[in-house]
Chains A and B, each alone.
Chain A
């Protein structure tokens, strides 16, 4: 496929393309994207939250996609960024997991090992100037109850923390999480906190949706919830009086 420079921002430019002169262009921007993923550790393990929207540029194109997926028995992956790249990553991880199952020696990769594996994959791809355009959260809990939460981005930068958020969540959810998070959060409290953050994201992030999933990893294993709607309250002052009496353009 030729790279048409006249194409809009959401067409062609992102795929590896071969031009007439033999040069290749690799992924330089994501096309179908998911927005923020949030992750927090809590008393029994670790919890992730994401909405179910995959956007095509500014168009809310697919409203029922899962961006939280389990790998093996004890690990969860949450992805923002290019959805097809996320599908590719999941296929790769499934292959690795199937190899472990086939070995039949009672060993399974820990969440920390999968996190490190993804770091190598992402960094290797960026060194080929052909990155997988995702920002990933890796969450998991070993059988002994030690929880893991880490993030890897599309150039291979990685770190662990007790609270993590990708994309807009880094600006809109992290401040809330920093204020409200405690290490001894009960499961219900953790879920409520993440729902609050997802609600704020839906209010203020134009690529977010009010249909979300929550996933948890505990010593007992992983669970990904069905998608459900978070309730919204549009009578709040900042929505009904956007300018709040100020002589501004109404944004804050």
Chain B
């Protein structure tokens, strides 16, 4: 990263019209372990690579359940993600008490984006260093949203964030037009194939190194790990055509060793 005289405070503009601190926070997302999400006409699948700060520790949590119909996958600072997940869970719970139903994902994501945005206009706080993929099935169907530290949010059919996510994005861009009519198993396989491209060069994707979550019509949010994923792993191995890790420096900066709080 470069140093310059306009990056010491979030609220200070650079003469080029940029907010450097906000951009640095966006950079934190790119250094977190890869997460991706994709949706069909009835379901949404989230998948993420698990990363441990060192060999002796358990991996950091990558996917958080928010409510029976909603969950997030994250890339960036896990601690920031936890705090935001707590906020979102409270919002979902309040909504359930007041209205007796689950929350509309678009409304929750708007509130979440506002949380992010507020920090970019106040010098007393720093931006959240985490990007989120929110998967939900609500009264208007299945939805996948991405939020950024800048306060921007977008709705997607498929999206990948985090380190080495470019190859997953390339895979998703190539196949996203087929997703609409995919059944759940196909969607999960697409998720795993896309995620295969995000592992570090010398390793291969294995069932213990990832988390996956499903939500959909008449299907409550559910995380799958390890053993439960093995059948899908076997299936994609047979089918081949998974995304390949990209050469270092191919569109993506080589990420420095991540901080212990990154996942």
Knowing A106-B140, A107-B139, A107-B140, the reply to whether A113 touches B104 (Cβ < 8 A) is no
A130 at the interface (CB under 8 A from B): no
Chain B, interface size: which category?
10 to 19
Contacts A107-B139, A107-B140 hold; do A113 and B100 have CB atoms under 8 A apart?
yes
A106-B140, A107-B139, A107-B140 known; A113-B101 Cβ under 8 A: yes
A109 touches B107 (CB 8 A): no
Most buried by A among B100, B101, B106: B100
Which residues in chain A, 89-111, are within 8 Å of chain B measured between CB atoms? 103, 105-107, 109-110
Give the complex CA separation of A109 and B101 in angstroms. 10
Asked if B139 and A120 sit within 8 Å, CB to CB, the answer is no
Map CB proximity to A onto B95-111 as digits: 1 under 8 Å, 0 otherwise: 00111110010110000
Chain A residues closer than 8 Å to B140, beta-carbon distance: 105-107
- The contact of A105 among B98, B99, B101, B107, by CB within 8 Å, is B107
Choose from A103, A113, A116, A117 the contact partner of B107 (Cβ within 8 Å).
A103
A105 touches B97 (CB 8 A): no
Q: How large is the interface on A (under 10, 10 to 19, 20 to 34, 35 or more residues)?
A: 10 to 19
Chain A residues with Cβ below 8 Å from B107 are 103, 105, 107
Docked pose: A113 CA to B241 CA in angstroms? 47
The answer on a CB contact under 8 Å between B104 and A110 is no
Is A107's CB under 8 angstroms from B101's CB?
no
Q: CB within 8 A of B98: which of A110, A112, A120?
A: A120
* B106 adjacent to A109 (CB under 8 Å): no
With A103-B107, A106-B140 already in contact, the answer to whether A120 and B101 are too (CB < 8 A) is no
Query: B residues within 8 A CB of A115?
Result: 100
Contact B104 A112 (CB under 8 A): no
Residues of A within 8 A of B98 (CB): 116-117, 120
Contact A105 B104 (CB under 8 A): yes
A116 / chain B contacts, CB cutoff of 8 Å: 98-101
If A106-B140, A107-B139 touch, whether A112 touches B101 (CB-CB below 8 Å) is yes
Q: Is the CB of A105 within 8 A of B100?
A: no
Chain A hits for B101, CB < 8 A? 110, 112-113, 116
Complex: A120 Cα to B104 Cα, angstroms: 19
Shortest distance between the CB of A238 and any CB in chain B (Å): 45
Tell me whether B104 and A107 are in contact (CB under 8 A).
yes
Within 8 Å CB of B99, what residues of A? Answer: 109, 113, 116-117
When chains A and B are docked, how far (Å) is the Cα of A103 from the Cα of B107? 8
**Which chain A residues in 102-160 approach chain B with CB under 8 Å?**
103, 105-107, 109-110, 112-113, 115-117, 120
The answer on a CB contact under 8 Å between B100 and A112 is yes
What is the 8 Å Cβ interface bit string for chain A, positions 68-105, against chain B (1 contact, 0 not)? 00000000000000000000000000000000000101
CB of B128, distance to nearest CB on chain A (Å): 24
Interface flags, B153-171, vs A, CB<8A=1, else 0: 0000000000000000000
Contacts from B to A (Cβ < 8 Å): 97-101, 104, 106-107, 139-140
Can you offer 28 A-B residue contacts whose CB atoms are under 8 A?
A103-B107, A105-B104, A105-B106, A105-B107, A105-B140, A106-B140, A107-B104, A107-B106, A107-B107, A107-B139, A107-B140, A109-B99, A110-B101, A110-B139, A112-B100, A112-B101, A113-B99, A113-B100, A113-B101, A115-B100, A116-B98, A116-B99, A116-B100, A116-B101, A117-B98, A117-B99, A120-B97, A120-B98
Listed from nearest, the 3 A-B pairs whose CB atoms lie closest are: A116-B100, A113-B99, A120-B98
Q: Using A105-B104, A105-B140 as known contacts, list a sample of 17 further A-B pairs with CB atoms less than 8 Å apart, ordered by residue number in A.
A: A103-B107, A105-B106, A106-B140, A107-B106, A107-B139, A107-B140, A110-B101, A112-B100, A113-B99, A113-B100, A113-B101, A115-B100, A116-B98, A116-B99, A116-B100, A116-B101, A120-B97
Q: Which residues of A contact B (CB under 8 A)?
A: 103, 105-107, 109-110, 112-113, 115-117, 120
